[in-house]
Structure formats: C-alpha cells, structure tokens
Structure 1
Amino acid sequence: MSLTSRFFAGLGLLAVAAGALAQPLTLDIYNPRENAVFPVSSTLISGEKDAILVDAQFSNTEAQALVERIRASGKRLTTIFISHGDPDFYFGLDTLTRAYPDAKVLATPATVAYIEKTRAPKLAYWGPILKDSAPARTQVPEPLQGNALELEGQRIEVVGHDPQHTSLWIPAIKAVVGGVLTSANIHLWVADAQSAEARQRWLKSLDELEALQPTTLVPGHYLGKPAMGLDDLRFTREYLLTLEQQLPKAKNSQALIAAMQARYPQLQDDSSLELSAKVLKGEMQWP
C-alpha cells in the first residue's frame, strides 16, 4: 500500500472511530399528569453537551418545572421544537424563552400557520381558566426549513403525511417523540377531528408511525404508566375505530359517552370524552 493510500485509510479509520464514540442521544420525558389541565408530554433530547426540547407545556407552572429540569440536566438548550399547534404544546414558550433567550424556537410551516390563526381565540378561552399561570404573551415559532433537525451530528426527522400532525423520528435510537397522535390510559381528545376524513387521516398517520417500528414511542398525552411503545399506538388506533363504530349508533352525546365508557371503563380523563362527544354529535361548537 502506498503512503498516500495508508494516509487516507487512516483517516477513514479515524472517522469510523469518531462515529463509534459519538454519545447516543438520550430522552428525558416530563409529563405533569394529574397536576395539570392537560397531561401533555415534553421530551428533552440530549447529546453529550447540547439538547433539543420538544414541546413547551401548557401553563407557566408546568413550563417553569420544565425549565428547572433542563437546568438540572446541565445541557445547553439549542432548540425548542413545537410539534403541534394546540396551546398545551406552546403556551409555555413565554416562560421557556425568558429562561433560554438564545434557543431557536421552530415548528413546521403548517403548525406555524395554525398557531398564528388560532392563538388569540385560544388565549381568550384558556386565559381566564389558567389565571396567573396563563402566558403573558403567546409566541409563534419560526418555520423549520426542510424536514429535519440535527443534534451533535445526529439527524432527527419530521415525519407524517399530514403537515399539521407530525412527529419526530430519531433513527439512531429508533424513537418517536412529539405530536398529538398517540395517547395512553386516557380518553382521546377528538374534538379537533370532527369529520370522518380527519379521523381517517389520523389513522393513516398511526400506520406511518407503526411502519417505522420504533422501540420507544412517547405518547403525546398520558396518565399513569404508559407502555412507551407500539402498544400505546395500537390502543389509540383501537379507540378511534371503536368511536367510529359507536358514533352513528348514538342518539346524542350522552349515549356516545356511555358507550365509550362501557368499552373502556379503566380510562381516565372523562372530560375529554364528554367534550369530544358533544362536538361530534353537533351539540357544541369547537373551538
């Protein structure tokens, strides 16, 4: 082997060694469970020194708890990614961006457009309910350019055919985080999927996530102890299919609520079922 060939071969070995020594990304999941209006998940994706936060919580109280958790990690927060346009995913930005003013705040263009359109009426509705824990301002993320983030050289992909309902896929650790598509141990919030077409898009998105065969899947909302895997996705799918079967049979929201409670007596968060049933049976307008 020539001297030049040996030199480049050595470079190749160094590159392989550097890749092998790269610290695996880790996940730290914060979910306030029963202590919050919505048991929404936020995930801190950490490398050796830097971190990306996925979703910002709903109220100032939960967002401040998230700030303390990030500080305790010792990581430098480079990015906050908002995976969905409902306020429990982004109202906490007011608190987080005050604590981390240098962190980029990003979302898909479709999520940005949805937040811009709905943030004023959402704050008008939820502000009086949250009271002192409501954000002083609502912040709109910047649109993500492309379909991926990067953390310490490792790629994190935005996946999903429906641009308003995406998740993050981390190939290196086969994990799905972010988004509103999956739940565990609670009745689903279906008030935002008012048409059969919207619910079919939801089911298709679940199929896409399952095809990735993740070893870790963080539900967007949960109470209790979730499986953190495909069992939570399959529960979500089964719930939607059951709802689709019961919806035309139920004369009104009370009948639909009773049918779903009979099928899933162990689930918590009846309030989500009650509001969703009223909306789906045309007894209430939402939002």
Structure 2
Amino acid sequence: METHAIGYAVHVCDPLPLSVTEPLPNGEGRTFQPISTTLVHGERDAVLIDPPFTTDQIEEVAAWVAGRGRNIIAIIATHGHGDHWFGDNEFAERFGAPVVATAGAIAVMHGNVAARPFAWDKLWPGQIPDAPVTAVTVPDNTLTLEGHDLHLVEVGHTDTEQTSVLHVPDLGLVAAGDALYNGAHMYIGESAGGGLDAWRAAISTVEALAPRHIVAGHKNKDLDDDATRVIAGTRQYLDSAETALKKCSTATEFFHTMVARHPDLLYGKTLLWVGAKALYALREPDADPVAASVAAWF
C-alpha cells in the first residue's frame, strides 16, 4: 500500500462554567477543564480523537475540522467519560464517519449515559446533545490512515475505568485521553482502593510506547506536547496527591494543600475539589461509590 506523510493538530476548547454557583474553597468560581481534540491527518484523510461535548464546543471544533479540509474516516473515543464523547454522534453525522472505541471504553460509555440525568445534564442543562452509544470496535483495535497504523492501546484505570490511548508510531504520538494531563489539576475521584497505583501502571504502559509527543485530554493550550515532560508532570501530581491524601484529614485541607503545591496549574481546580469530595466521602462507613461520585459535583 502506498503511504503518505502524516501529521497531527490539536484544538483546545476553553474551560466551561458549571451550573453550580457555590464557589470553590479558595473563593474561585467553578469551571470545567479545557478539552483537547486531536486530528491525525494524512494528505486526504484524517481521524478525530476525543472531540468535546456541548453544543457550542461542537460547533467550534466542527468548524476547525472543516477548515483542515480532510475526509474524516473515524471518530475515536479513548475512554467513557462523557466530556470526550457525548458529541461524537454529531461529528459522525456531519463528517460521515463511524465512532470507534475499545470494548471496555464502550462499557463505561453506557454508565455515563445512565448518569446523565443525575450529573451531566444538571451541570450543563440543555447544552449536551442526545448521545446514545453508537461506538463500535475495530479488529485488533487498529485503524489504518493512508498506509499508517493507528493503535488503540488499552491502559486500564486512569481517571476512570477501562481507558485507552491512541498510539501513532509513525508520528511518535500518543493521543492520551485522560491517561495523562498537561498543565491542569487531575481528577482522582475514581481512584479509591489502589487506583493511583493502577494509574501509574497505565503511565508506564504509555511510556513503553516511546512517544515523543503526548496530547493530554485536558491541557493548558500554551504548553507543548513534549512526552517526557508530560509523563513526569503526571507522575509528580499522582505522587503529590498520594502524600496529601495520607496527611490531610478533610477534603478542604486536601484541596488547599494541592493548590499550594502546584501553583503553576492554572486549570482544573473544580475537578480537584470534586475528586477530593468524592474520595473523602468514601472514608465514611458504608459509603456508596456511585452516590459519592455524583454528590461531589454539587
């Protein structure tokens, strides 16, 4: 098969406000993370990875994609959190492409659909399109773009269960979804019971791919995608969080400790607070993980 040179481009949507008006413990208003969308493109075709989820963001990214002038052959979801796939069907319809994910990610997608009435649609009322799960798997979790293989690599638990990354060996690229973060506080609210060690193992799986570039699903758009720096920063944050969880007796203390330890992180304090509330709620006897996770947002 004839091959052509490929490249990638990234669009980062700015953080969205949430419907919750109560400020964070430091007095700041609540906003969501910036959301990264990656386009891996050849001369004619391209794949779109982890596009955003609200109507305004969908329009913004769809215009960006259309301006690149490529034929979209697949919409790829790296994991099941709705902010990275609730918009997929809109993009699939506009660009005539299937939605692709691993079987594990698809299973988590169904859980996020079930959670919509209790969380997503309350946080962004009227802003998220209808999003039934339409994703399909592909043989060996591999696609081909103008002669270049693109691999969905399963990495297990990161900020949710059964996540994956897209590895593009010929670019030295990993589109990492939420396996790695870049310049934003990390969501650790689903990491009780050994989740941080599982996340470290996922990072090692990504590192073994020897990427040069890593696009994090949530990143500061002013930072580059240098793989060594992104991996080191993500590991450092997990280590810092583990230390703080042992030291701090309340979610509020944990929040202030992490903000003080990472003054360079301009984004994601809402996710830091939500994750802290969920984890500390689970320290209570007979706590329900699903109830704790949902209640932490409000």
Q: What CA deviation, in whole Å up to 9, does each residue of 1:90-117 have, x standing for no partner? A: 11124213312x3011100001111123
What secondary structure does 1:247 align onto?
helix
Amino acid at match of 1:73: R
- For each residue in 1:165-219, what CA deviation from the matched residue of structure 2 results, as whole angstroms up to 9, or x when unmatched? 2111111111111421111221111112222x22111101111212222111111
Q: SS of 2:167's equivalent?
A: strand
Distance 1:123 1:98 in 2: 24
Number of residue pairs aligned between Structure 1 and Structure 2 = 266
- Aligned with residue 223 of structure 1, among 213, 220, 225: 220
- Normalised by the length of structure 2, the TM-score is 0.83
C-alpha contact (below 8 Å) 2:105/2:164 kept by paired residues: no
In 1, the alpha carbon distance for the partners of 2:38 and 2:244 equals: 34
Q: Give the aligned partner of residue 53 of structure 2.
A: 58
Does the alignment pair 1:28 with 2:9?
yes
Superposition RMSD in Å: 1.9
For 1:62 and 1:236, the matched residues in 2 are separated by: 26
Which residue, out of 78, 92, 96, partners 2:73? Answer: 78
Q: Conserved in 2, the CA contact under 8 Å of 1:31 and 1:42?
A: yes
Partner of 1:162: 156
Partner of 2:115: 121
Structure 1 consecutive aligned stretches of length 4 or more whose deviation exceeds 4 Å: none
Equivalent residue number for residue 4 of structure 1: none
| 1:198-242 residue CA offsets vs partner (Å, 9 max, x unmatched) | 211110111121222211111110124223022012101110011
1:90 equivalent in structure 2: 85
Match of 1:5 in 2: none
- Cα distance, 1:123–1:178 mapped onto 2, change above 3 Å: farther
Mapped partners of 1:170, 1:190: distance in 2? 27
Pick 1 or 2: higher relative contact order, CA cutoff 8 A, min separation 6: 2
Partner of 2:195: 198
Please tell me whether Structure 1 or Structure 2 has the larger radius of gyration of its CA atoms.
1
Q: Give the equivalent residue in structure 2 for 1:6.
A: none
Question: For the residues of structure 2 that align with 1:214 and 1:129, how far apart are their CA atoms?
Answer: 35
- Aligned-pair identity in percent equals 23
More helix by share: 1
**What pairs up with 1:1-287 in 2 under 5 angstroms?**
22-34=3-15, 37-100=32-95, 102-162=96-156, 164-195=162-193, 197-229=194-226, 230-268=228-266, 269-282=268-281, 285-287=292-294
Contact 2:58 2:87 in 1 (8 A): yes
CA distance in 1, matches of 2:247, 2:45: 52
Paired residue type of 1:113: A
CA-CA distance at 1:144 after TM superposition? 2.9
